[in-house]
Amino acid sequence: MAHADLDAAVRHLHAAHAPALHAWARHRTADPREAEEIVQETLILAWRKQDQYDPERGSERAWLFGIARNVAVDRHRRQQRHLRAVPGSDAPEPADDGEIDRVVEDSHIRDALRTLSEAHRQVVIETYYRGRSVREAAAELDIPEGTVKSRLYHALRALRSELERQEVLP
């Protein structure tokens, strides 16, 4: 690939995906520099492994988020190894891949929940996160059961739509 084509490919990846990757990384680390490093490493790896991208398997963004997840996991593991090497360190054991996948999934859902109106978000939180029935949620929120059902229906559709927009869901 010619140098100009490579530059254009890198610029495209950055322009199209860096803001979303950065927002994702910022939710996973307290250090803004760490988040930026995750994004940069992700884009570099994507550029180096661009021949491995298969549009038949998913969107470019989903592929990049998969790389970002791996970068974040690898960085976390390296930090944990370093902390354990320090005598007397009480660092927790590194999380397993299943736990990390759950955290990534939860963070995408949390981000999508923020896009809902307060009324819709409350209904989702009461029913899904607090495990309340429609009747219990209606009593807690002081609204009719039919309103809970309606808001829940619209909230779940909006969540699905947002997760598809973020290319988290197919």
User: Mind listing the pLDDT tens digit for each residue in 106-141?
Assistant: 677 777 888 889 999 999 888 888 888 999 999 999
Q: Quote the CA–CA distance of 83 and 118 in Å, as a whole number.
A: 41
Helix, strand, coil fractions of the chain, as percent rounded to 5: 75, 0, 25
pLDDT digits (tens, 9 = 90+) for 45-63: 888 888 888 888 878 888 8
Q: Within 116-144, where are the H helices? A: 118-124, 134-141
End-to-end CA distance of the chain: 31
User: pLDDT-based confidence at 14, cuts 50/70/90?
Assistant: confident
Q: pTM of this prediction?
A: 0.47
Full set of structural domains in the chain with CATH: 1-94 (1.10.1740.10), 96-170 (1.10.10.10)
Long-range Cβ contact pairs of 119-127 (< 8 A, separation 24 or more): 119/151, 120/151, 120/154, 120/155, 120/158, 121/155, 123/148, 123/151, 123/152, 123/155, 124/152, 124/155, 124/156, 124/159, 127/152
Residue 94 has pLDDT above 50, yes or no: no
Smallest Cα–Cα separation from 100: which of 122, 70, 128? 70
Q: Quote the CA–CA distance of 122 and 54 in Å, as a whole number.
A: 39
Torsion of CA 59, 62, 64, 66, to 10 degrees: -140
